[in-house]
Structure 1
Amino acid sequence: MNAVLQPRAPDMHPDEWAARVQLAAAYRIFDMLGWTEMIYNHITVRLPDSVTHGEKQFLINPFGLHYSEVTASNLLKIDVQGNKLDAHNPWPVNPAGFTIHAAIHDRIPGAHCVMHTHTTNGVAVACTQGGLAQNNFYSAQLHDMVAYHDFEGITIHADEAPRLLASLGNKPLMILRNHGLLAAGPTVPLTFVRLWTLQRACDIQIAQAALGPAIKLTEAVAKRTTEDSFQYDQRFGAGQDVFDAMTRLMEQRSGTHYKS
């Protein structure tokens, strides 16, 4: 089956098309960064009320496509149960894979974007007893922002949702123990830069572990570092400038096909 569908439908709301293009860019950026897991894992976005008139509708990657094949037109529109809403789209949805995303989208105010990864260093840190170490520039930007959820197996069972939500609380980031990383936020760019910072912290932690005991940072220093971090300050674009730069880099390397 060809990965590309037709261009934007003439009757599609422009806000939906804008959301599709931005989400497709996110998938291509993840691919560029090596954050892919064959055809698995998801980045999901809730469509704005201007499109749905208040109904909860979401965009998700077609099940069976690699992130590098995702385009604005082949993204799936689904409801909170994972049911397809765009009958013209021939690709299947993975409702089991949407379970964790659905719970967060449905119950956490402002969680309009949810990202989940199984990167090597992210999973490695998730497997450690201590979790994320407060010992480097990147982890210091995440003071009191990271939650933990114990591993219960593959997250496809709805009965895990209440426990996962309780674990997440009001934190924008979560380390799923023995599993991977997760980020939720009001926009794709802000969710992305938070996840990127967590991923960088995990990368440094794994690299540093081979060198012996690390210098631990005090809670006061970590708190101040997080407060001073520009990417979480709305006055500095809340990650939009970073996301735009990564989009340009992705386009230079792979073109603008994702907008089709």
Structure 2
Amino acid sequence: MSIASKLLSRRSVCSVTLMPNGAVTTYRLRPILLGQIARFSCEARSPDPGSHVQANRAARFELAVAYRALERYKLHEGVCNHLSLMCPAASGRGQVMLIIPHGQHWSQVTRSSLLGVDEHGQVVEGNGQAETSAVSIHLGLHLCNQDARCVMHAHTPYATSLGLLKDPSLLMCHQISTRFHNRVAYDPGYQGMAYEVEEGRRLASVLGSKDILMMCNHGIITSGRSVAMAFDLMYYLERACMFQMIAMATGKQLNTIPDDMVKYNCEVFKGDEEDYANKHFNAMKDIILNDSPDVKN
């Protein structure tokens, strides 16, 4: 049975909205059961003929930069962990999930090195093999959450460490923490190494409508409608967890922020969050392009 048929139930309907170069292309994926095989029809509305090629290239470049930038921030772990992005297939037939080839270091990712995986979990673009757990987790999240165009999974030091505690709650003790008020889902039920496709569906259910998942005893997931948003959430979540863990290490009581101020700050963050995320990501993009222009290859 294909990965897609395991991930989606008979009644599920998923949408993915793509925004390459400012253009909006909407794909609706509907599973059509033929016997025991789930197949998908893909209805695409593109702003102009051939735009799928440019959209695919633009998406590849954005994701390659994200891998390089997070490696610069030391938020990678060996050749493990994964960032993924849904985009139009280069062939023009449906869409693919872009992801790193198994075994490639984040500092080596280029536009052309990324793999394109179809809805069945098969590599249809690029050379290399997609890591099994990456496909299982990421494809499940993308197909079951219409807002999760970009999904980032990493074992960042402080956020992962917070998830090792009996109470892994992100406390509202720092200004940055208030940005994440009511935005973090927690998964305390560690299920072992993620080699089954059902794990992706389970994680999507736990994440629900939130955009951050604290995978206790494992790592974190951030998701967003753009690479910039998922990237910015990953970076600042790690910062918030860092401040909390360092303060907790003193053994003294934390001075949490009053609820009314937490809610106020959260609303302020929401007001310019997308613009700030874009500025942050574009600044890192300039640095990567200046130091490592091969990312465009």
Aligned AA for 2:232? V
Q: How does 1:85-234 map to 2 (within 5 A)?
A: 85-86=124-125, 89-131=126-168, 132-150=170-188, 151-211=190-250, 212-229=252-269, 232-233=270-271
> What's the counterpart of residue 63 of structure 1?
102
CA drift at 1:234 = 5.8
The structure in which a higher percent of residues are strand is 2
The higher-RCO structure (CA 8 Å, 6+ apart) is 1
Looking at structure 1, the residues matched to 249 and 67 of structure 2 have their Cα atoms a distance apart, in angstroms, of 32
Unaligned runs of 5+ in 2: 1-50
Looking at structure 1, the residues matched to 200 and 103 of structure 2 have their Cα atoms a distance apart, in angstroms, of 25
TM-score, with length taken from structure 1: 0.87
Aligned AA for 2:100? N
CA drift at 1:222 = 1.5
Post-superposition CA distance 1:82-122 (Å, at most 9, x none)? 21002xx3321113222111111001012110001101212
> What's the counterpart of residue 115 of structure 2?
76
Post-superposition CA distance 1:115-153 (Å, at most 9, x none)? 011012121001112222221111111101000112111
Describe the shift of the 1:128–1:98 C-alpha distance in structure 2 as closer, same or farther (beyond 3 A).
same
> What's the counterpart of residue 6 of structure 1?
none
Looking at structure 1, the residues matched to 109 and 53 of structure 2 have their Cα atoms a distance apart, in angstroms, of 20
Moved more, 139-148 or 235-244: 235-244
Following superposition, which runs of at least 4 residues in structure 1 exceed 3 angstroms of deviation?
Answer: 48-53, 232-236
Measured on the aligned residues, the alpha-carbon RMSD in Å equals 2.1
Aligned AA for 1:93? A
> What's the counterpart of residue 7 of structure 1?
none
CA drift at 1:67 = 0.3
SS in 2 for 1:73: coil
Contact 1:24-1:70 within 8 A present in 2 as well = yes
Contact 1:28-1:67 within 8 A present in 2 as well = yes
Contact 1:190-1:238 within 8 A present in 2 as well = no
Contact 1:56-1:79 within 8 A present in 2 as well = yes
> What's the counterpart of residue 43 of structure 2?
none
Looking at structure 1, the residues matched to 221 and 245 of structure 2 have their Cα atoms a distance apart, in angstroms, of 18
Larger of the two Rg values belongs to structure: 2
Looking at structure 1, the residues matched to 90 and 147 of structure 2 have their Cα atoms a distance apart, in angstroms, of 16
Residue number among 74, 77, 88 corresponding to 1:34 in the alignment: 74
Moved more, 59-68 or 154-163: 154-163
- Identity level (%): 27
Describe the shift of the 1:235–1:190 C-alpha distance in structure 2 as closer, same or farther (beyond 3 A).
closer
Unaligned runs of 5+ in 1: 1-10
Looking at structure 2, the residues matched to 42 and 159 of structure 1 have their Cα atoms a distance apart, in angstroms, of 18
Q: How many residues align?
A: 244
SS in 2 for 1:98: helix
TM-score, with length taken from structure 2: 0.77
